[in-house]
Structure 1
């Protein structure tokens, strides 16, 4: 087998796993309002088990709901009434030969008062987490002893529910991590001060689980072995914690990093290289003899195999990669690597759950909706129909892929000489590599499914109607949005498409770029690296709202390092032949920026020239993606998938409406 290390059995304690791939715990917001297991949650995990994953560590599960809650719809195991739901979940995972752990958790100072009914959050010490911004109340010694017991009781409930083992959440700045960290724990009693005292809380939890669940019940601990914050745990201290836990008898270590105060290290943006934090697990593995799990933006099968072959870790956790493609493991084992829908690190899943929605994925529309959209049903052989799609961007290709799997004949027109549409606008080198993965995946699906793709063909009404198609999907995308200000039509005003797609070259000029978002940042960087004196006027756009604050700051820092003049908190007033006028949003003062060229990168507006002329000629015509005005990869993918999946239903509904 090509991936002999990946598909070798492995052991955590006495538990044998069928391969070395672990799904790490990730909050989904799919639990019920009381923290109970739901059918949607079971379907989500069952899909990943069915896809071949060896071990699934179920998302962080609350051991004390009064103060420990860390999420709006967080799973609970603080009472016996939650055991039956966890038991159903365990059975669903076990059906496919996967094993299941549950991660037991208390948020500590990384909860907030709105999550716990207005009460003050608690922590080892009254040291605030800057990212939360609330001062916690210091736990009493009596409360700490009670919390130890609650962790232990949650583990007992896991065992009763048929869960194969527990992961104790000692990472990412949550309560146990707070006890371990010199930055968060400034206690002077038996639970603070010395290394041994800071370890005491976790030690008592581990010892208690062993006493109640038995020596053979697997226990792993997830750790941030580097918090990446001043005064916190660094790698040397992290390794000492790992050595201590091995002596305590834990069965495995799940090596992570970061806290809410270093969120960009905890959940990576697209700007991080694949596997950038594997070195942390590699360093820990030199120190201990128990299994080590590594994690962190790991996407490619060969990358996983290399980690294992080089003994940098014993198991590899693939998190968002399994959100994007539940069949990652199955496809790898069957040699279908080109069919893997690789995660692009866009953080859409994170933004979904932190926005109080269930987990969603920008490139997999079924994520979190497995019960709504079950496996595709092919058309009966006598119902073979033809669908024409105009536009080879992500929405058009996702629709083509889905329709083909349902048994439709599909013809796709694309006016450019390559597929991918707006995805080609990403220019940051690291992010571009990830986006290229997705372009390659979709393009490969077009070939694999024998979809009739017509490149370099701008579809006309005549081209489309010549097929007498059952339906037409218009995915013609968008075009750059121009600011509605004086001077937007001057000759020296260009768009980001002129720079990124058309290759317009500017060198040693004074260039002002107006806009925001990932494409805008890439355009600015490209112009600066070409030797221009660039001023970046950051104007909020719809696209910029999809960038987290940590990612935005990293992007701005990159631009500062290449001498870009950055102007924030201003609005564009007008464009003159030799300058750009902006106004300070706070003081109201105007500033004139000398500009030989102005580049506008303020997002896109819908471009849909075919809908009107086709309206009277086609009964079943639908517009999707950017052509409707959605403007994001996630929205385009979802729209393309849904319209294709539900095509017959939509057509039927439209016909019934017409009869009324």
Structure 2
């Protein structure tokens, strides 16, 4: 299928953009502690420009850092000293024929006193954001006018730096959004009350930028077309706002959604359908003639092309897609769709413990200077990998790019490891994307993949490998609970693989995490009565609160019985006994069967014997107790990228001994 609509030129104001692909603003925490552009930040954005992206919108940039920041290492444009950094950033993007806008931002009530040096946060009105939990101070009229001026000066500095345009962050519950919304703006001065007064803050900013920077300097506004909060912005009000913004000279509208109280609509979990927010852009496009940008979990080139072909939007913004694959646009343009590493919406980028942007499936994200070009080896070498899960395949991919001959053993009849166990249809589509991407890379890079083959030490030694990477995964984790050996107790793999079936039974599922929730859902769909007893697991700690709540609500709507804050003391042939973690109160649940879904523990039978035979043996993924996708892929990438230095270190250690 042709994707030609994606690669047509487009215009925002007087700026021509080479295609219809936008990388929207996303915080990276790559700025310095003082808010300056860093070399790593430039490398991150240049990588996306080099990948063919038409327009890159630089992340939230504070127009006033004292009270306006939303994150610790946030970019700033509230002083002339920051101009040179943005100039370097603009040149890096322009070098690859891309255009660059900066998103001007003030957090308002969606900030924290820890970011303001202990000062009370501010807002149009003293209405607390529940997600933040701090009461804001109402801005005085003079303070509002001062902030208008700071937005204008921020835009002037951007233009001086060679930036092509600005985006005013009027979405996601930040300050401009707070002025627009009747829920958060209950002022009685000229900036509150009527529709025109609530629009005045944004209008004064737009008109001021146009006056200072000229009509040929584009001003774009990002809106939460629906905040999904009672009394807030909704589609009907946003249509009126959009018509007004077009009248006052705004050059484009970016149709987003949500705020901190509805954060799952801002950064979506794997449970959201691809492009679910596109209808918001479509509604706004009916009202205005200026360009409209669609956004929201958009991943596939054909899907992007259809949005444009059907006239639902003029440009398509893909945020996490650009984190996962900076070459998304070039690959789509060259018809290499199967080589695109599509974002799987796992939320690693928002929930990772890393201090800056990171990605579970693209290890280089935010580390472009650390992992630069892959250098080919000078002599042919062989590496054996045991295990065809995501970690093993990622290691094979990188090693093959470096010129190694790679043989990968997988004991099952398909690649993908535990990713194959995801069963929720929407979530499964996304994990299947990653399996398909890595499987295609194995074929494209001519990795010698041997399915249905359980590797032995003799088999591995026969290759006389330069190194061996063990990615043998995990085995079922059975908790130390009396009764787990009873015949009515099984583990989730038995159920997932069809070895155990249940029909009209009362089944208790023990555990937590995505696999656990999918087991409960399937059991309910098959007509069983199900009790989920939530027991903490390593994998469950990777689920953010909003996704967990969404999962539990879905199960409750299916009439599953959810038991929390309990520990299981004993399993009987017809009952599960529990004890309240707080009070110690005992309870008993009648059941027919029990499924244990508490994740895995390392399975690594080959390491010890192989270390007696070979020097360079490395363990990755679940086999090394990296119990989440990002850990497995990260292990695979880093071991493969640095394998020569790792081998050298081992040899040095042996010489010392």
Q: Distance in 2 between matches of 1:141 and 1:61?
A: 23
CA contact (8 A) 1:29 1:356 kept: no
Who is 2:355 aligned against? 357
- 1: CA distance between counterparts of 2:489 and 2:119? 54
1:81 aligned onto 2:81: yes
For residues 371 and 401 of structure 2, the distance between their equivalents in structure 1, rounded to whole angstroms, comes to 14
Give the aligned partner of residue 439 of structure 1. Answer: 435
Alignment of structure 1 residues 54-133 onto 2, 5 Å: 54-133=54-133
Deviation of 1:200 (Å): 0.4
Deviation at 1:614, TM superposition (A): 0.8
Residue in structure 1 matched with residue 376 of structure 2 by the alignment: 378
Match of 1:452 among 444, 448, 454: 448
Is the partner of 2:162 in helix, strand or coil?
A: coil
Q: Is this contact kept in 2: 1:258–1:266, CA < 8 A?
A: yes
Whole-angstrom CA distance in 1 between matches of 2:28 and 2:526:
43
Answer yes or no: is the 8 Å Cα contact 1:72–1:356 preserved in 2: no
1:14 maps to what in 2? Answer: 14
Indicate the residue corresponding to 1:389 in structure 2.
385
Matching residue of 1:331: 331
Distance 1:165 1:75 in 2: 16
TM-score by length of 2: 0.99
List per-residue Cα deviations over 1:83-105 (Å, max 9, x = no partner): 00111011111110000000000
Q: CA deviation at 1:504?
A: 2.2
Could you say what secondary structure the match of 1:101 adopts? strand
5+ residue gaps, structure 2, are none
Shift, 1:247, TM fit: 0.1
* SS of aligned partner of 2:627: coil
* 1:462-481 correspondence runs (5 A): 462-481=458-477
> Where do 5+ consecutive residues of structure 1 fail to align?
none
In structure 1, the residue matched to 2:537 is 541
* Contact 1:426–1:435 under 8 Å retained in 2: yes
Q: What residue in structure 2 maps to residue 236 of structure 1?
A: 236
- Contact 1:511–1:598 (CA<8 Å) still a contact in 2? yes
| Structure 2 partner of 1:33 | 33
CA deviations on 1:265-317 (whole Å, 9 max, x unpaired) are 11111000000010000000000000000100000000000000000000000
Does the residue aligned with 2:212 lie in a helix, a strand or coil? helix
- Distance of 2:120 and 2:404 partners within structure 1: 58
* Superimposed CA distance per residue, residues 353-381 of structure 1 (whole angstroms, 9 cap, x where no aligned partner): xx56110101001110000000211111x
Q: Distance in 2 between matches of 1:400 and 1:9?
A: 38
- For the pair 1:583 / 2:579, whether they are aligned, the reply is yes
Describe the SS at the equivalent of 1:169: strand
1:368: which partner in 2?
366
SS at match of 1:616: helix
- Paired with 1:503 and 1:517, the residues of 2 have a C-alpha distance of 22
- Using the alignment, how far apart are the partners of 1:78 and 1:658 within structure 2? 56
Once the two structures are superposed, the pairs formed by residues 222-621 of structure 1 within 5 Å of their partners are 222-352=222-352, 355=353, 357-380=355-378, 383-621=379-617
- Asked whether the equivalents of residues 51 and 328 of structure 1 are also in contact (C-alpha less than 8 Å), the reply is yes
CA distance in 1, matches of 2:183, 2:537: 38
> What is the Cα deviation at residue 351 of structure 1?
1.1
- Per mean C-alpha deviation after superposition, the further-off stretch among 644-653 and 575-584 is 575-584
Q: Deviations for 1:461-487, whole angstroms, at most 9, x for unmatched residues?
A: 111011111110000000121111111
**Does the 8 Å contact 1:291/1:315 carry over to 2?**
yes
* CA drift at 1:117: 1.1
Q: Secondary structure at the match of 1:592?
A: strand
Question: Aligned residue for 1:654?
Answer: 650
Q: Distance in 2 between matches of 1:480 and 1:254?
A: 46
Q: Which whole-Å deviations, capped at 9, do the CAs of 1:143-197 have from their partners, x for residues lacking one? A: 0000000000000000000000000000000000000001111111111110000
Q: Aligned pair count?
A: 656
> How far did 1:587 drift?
2.2
- Which aligned segments of 4 or more residues in structure 1 are displaced greater than 4 angstroms? none
Deviation at 1:501, TM superposition (A): 2.9
Cα separation, 1, equivalents of 2:4 and 2:328? 16
CA distance in structure 2 between the aligned counterparts of 1:503 and 1:121, rounded to whole angstroms: 57
Q: Does 2:146 align with 1:150?
A: no
Kept in 2: contact 1:48–1:327 (CA 8 A) = yes
Whether the 8 Å contact between 2:569 and 2:578 is mirrored in structure 1 is: yes
Residues 171, 259 of structure 1: 8 Å contact kept? yes
Do the aligned residues in 2 keep the contact of 1:512 with 1:537 (CA within 8 Å)?
Answer: yes
TM superposition shift of 1:425: 1.5
* Residue 503 of structure 1: how far off its partner (Å): 4.6
SS across alignment from 1:58: strand
The alpha-carbon deviation at position 109 of structure 1 amounts to 0.2
CA contact (8 A) 2:615 2:650 kept: no
Whole-Å separation in 2 of the counterparts to 1:516 and 1:295: 31
CA distance in 2 between counterparts of 1:363 and 1:157 reads 36
Equivalent-residue separation in structure 2 for 1:338 and 1:421 (angstroms): 20
CA distance in 2, matches of 1:657, 1:228: 59
Structure 1 residue 632 corresponds to structure 2 residue 625:
no
- Distance of 1:643 and 1:523 partners within structure 2: 34
Q: Distance in 1 between matches of 2:574 and 2:486?
A: 10
Q: Determine helix, strand or coil for the equivalent of 2:206.
A: helix
Asked if the contact 1:537–1:567 (Cα under 8 Å) also holds between the matched residues in 2, the reply is yes
Moved more, 228-237 or 483-492: 483-492
